[in-house]
Every structure is written in C-alpha cells, then in structure tokens.
C-alpha cells in the first residue's frame, strides 16, 4: 500500500521530524511504500487559492505534484506537534490547499510534544479537522512525549519511552492498514457517493 506521512513544523530545532521518520521507516519495514511529506521542505505559500481553484494545468508545480500523490495514496499519517493546545500552522496550511483529494481514505494521527501530554490536545483538534476534510480517522493514535526521551537524533527509539513506542506502533500500523484495505475494497465495489 501507499501511505503518505505529513509533518508540519517549521521550527529551526524541530524534534518531531524524529517521529515522522520513525513512522515512515515503520511502514516501509512492513512492506509498504511510505513517503514523508515535509511542509517546511515544500514551503507552500499561505493559503490564497486551493488546488481546485486553479484552472486545470495552471496550479504551481508543487501543488500539482502533491495533489497527484494524495489522490493515489491509500492512507495518511499526520505527525503533529502541539502549539499552545493547538495544531501546527505549517501542517494546517498544507492540508488546507486540498479538499476532494483527501476523500474516502483513512488517516491516522501521531502527536508529540516536549512534555508529558505528548501532543494529545493537538491530536484531538486534528481529529475533527481531518474528518471534516473527508477522511476516516482511525481510533488508534501514537502519542509521544517527551519526544527527546523517546527518539534519538536518528529517529531510533531510546529508553523506556522508546520501548513503549515500539510496542504501540504495530497496532497503530495494523489499524491504518485494515482501514486502507477496507476503503480500497469498498471503492472498487461501490463508487463513492460524491
């Protein structure tokens, strides 16, 4: 299956990239084609026009390329840090450039923070947002905190917290895989209603 992992921090010393890389490596190890989509690397402008608001063939190349990747993916993982109880603006800006491209696929949320709440408040905010954008948000979630005590600079689990993450990942991955297979089978059987 093809999965996209979205990450949205623009901070200079961003630690969440460790979790994003851990998730990508985890799905690739399970035999999937998993790609990291880094909002900072894409550097999309603040939302002015959604992808669908451009005349066909006139959208910026970065939007065209990303739209094609989103449309062909079987599922998504959103890796989000928590900023003042909320979501990262870089990741939110990236997702808002698209709408129909997200429809009828499952999404999973992996949250993190420097503290013990592990970004769960941002994860909760993302749940409603992703649902509104036409995705089925799975019930399994990864919550990592403090991130510096869970993953080292190479995105490898460390200490007790890293051990807990390694134990939690297979269920998280299996849940997304199951829903990706289910939605793919249903779309093949019955076209989406709109």
CATH number at residue 162: 3.40.50.360
**Tell me, what's the pLDDT at 171?**
98
Whole-angstrom distance, CA of residue 82 vs CA of residue 147? 12
Task: Give the pLDDT score at 83.
Answer: 85
> For residue 33, is it within any domain?
yes
Strand extents, DSSP E, 46-168: 75-81, 106-112, 136-144
State the residue range of the domain holding 26: 2-189
Q: How many domains does the chain have?
A: 1
With H, G, I as helix, E, B as strand and everything else as coil, classify residue 143.
strand
Determine the distance from the C-alpha atom of residue 143 to the mean position of all C-alpha atoms in its chain, rounded to a whole number.
Answer: 13
User: Does residue 108 lie within any of the structural domains?
Assistant: yes
Measured CA distances, 142 to 44, 54, 72 (Å):
27, 36, 24
Percent of the chain topping pLDDT 70: 100
Mean pLDDT over 10-32 rounds to 96
Residue 114 has pLDDT above 90, yes or no: no
- Name the strands in the sheet holding 106-112, side by side, starting at the edge strand that comes first in the sequence: 33-38, 2-7, 75-81, 106-112, 136-144
Q: Specify if 45 maps to a domain.
A: yes
The reply to whether 177 falls in a domain is: yes
* Structural domain contains residue 194: no
Q: Is pLDDT above 90 for 194?
A: no
Residue 40: per-residue pLDDT: 96
Domain assignment of residue 121, yes or no: yes
Average confidence (pLDDT) over 38-50 = 94
Report, in angstroms and rounded to the nearest whole number, the Rg of the chain calculated over CA atoms: 16
């Amino acid at each position: 299956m093809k999965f996209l992992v979205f990450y949205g921090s623009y901070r200079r010393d961003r630690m969440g990239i460790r979790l994003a890389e851990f998730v990508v490596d985890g799905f690739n190890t399970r035999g999937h084609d998993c790609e990291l989509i880094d909002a900072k690397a894409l550097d999309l402008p603040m939302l002015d026009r959604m992808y669908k608001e451009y005349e066909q063939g006139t959208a910026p190349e970065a939007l065209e390329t990303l739209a094609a990747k989103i449309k062909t993916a079987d599922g998504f993982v959103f890796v989000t840090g928590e900023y003042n109880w909320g979501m990262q603006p870089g990741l939110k800006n990236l997702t808002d450039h698209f709408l129909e491209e997200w429809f009828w696929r499952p999404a999973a949320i992996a949250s993190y923070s420097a503290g013990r709440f592990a970004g769960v408040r941002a994860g909760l905010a993302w749940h409603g947002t992703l649902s509104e954008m036409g995705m089925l948000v799975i019930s399994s979630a990864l919550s990592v905190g403090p991130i510096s005590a869970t993953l080292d600079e190479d995105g490898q689990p460390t200490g007790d917290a890293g051990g807990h993450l390694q134990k939690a990942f297979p269920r998280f991955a299996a849940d997304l895989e199951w829903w990706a297979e289910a939605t793919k089978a249903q779309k093949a059987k019955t076209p989406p209603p709109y």
